[in-house]
């Protein structure tokens, strides 16, 4: 009887081992694996979105800062020269002249076509 019980227990263990082996060999992921994969994917997307938002905010802050600096330069130029017609060929004001030309172009684009890198304000 002891020998029969050992053989039955041994056979049950072999069946369990075979089932585990078959399920681990299956090419179809389990429900839990799918859930873990989906959760990881969501976390990666959220992290990517946060990184993108941070990069966009930094870029916008940098652009705003640059625009404000150029505008202050233009105000100083007007105070000194009495006008805002900055000569692009001027050695001292070349960069400011190019900036003013681009601002005027963007303003015309906004006014005539309704789209531009400028905001309506």
pLDDT at 1: 55
Q: How far apart are CA 24 and CA 30, in angstroms?
A: 9
CB atoms within 10 A of CB 102: 13
pLDDT at 17: 55
The pTM is what?
0.53
Q: pLDDT tens digit string along 9-35?
A: 455 555 555 555 555 555 787 888 878
Residue 6 has pLDDT above 50, yes or no: no
pLDDT at 85: 95
Q: Which two tokens stand for residue 15?
A: 């069946």
Q: How far apart are CA 9 and CA 4, in angstroms?
A: 9
Residues ≥6 apart with Cβ < 8 Å to 115: 109
Q: How far apart are CA 120 and CA 111, in angstroms?
A: 9
Per-chain mean pLDDT for the chain: 79
Q: Which of 110, 121, 117 lies closest to 63, judged by CA? A: 117
Q: pLDDT tens digit string along 50-68?
A: 777 787 777 777 778 888 9
H or E element, residue 88: none
């Amino acid at each position: 009887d002891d020998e029969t019980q050992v053989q039955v227990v041994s056979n049950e263990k072999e069946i369990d081992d075979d089932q585990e082996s078959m399920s681990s060999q299956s090419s179809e992921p389990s429900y839990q694996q799918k859930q873990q994969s989906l959760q990881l994917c969501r976390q990666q997307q959220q992290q990517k979105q946060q990184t993108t938002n941070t990069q966009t905010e930094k870029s916008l802050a940098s652009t705003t800062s640059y625009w404000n600096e150029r505008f202050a330069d233009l105000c100083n130029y007007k105070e000194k020269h009495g006008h805002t017609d900055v000569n692009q060929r001027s050695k001292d004001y070349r960069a400011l002249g190019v900036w003013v030309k681009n601002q005027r172009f963007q303003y015309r684009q906004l006014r005539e076509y309704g789209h531009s890198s400028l905001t309506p304000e």
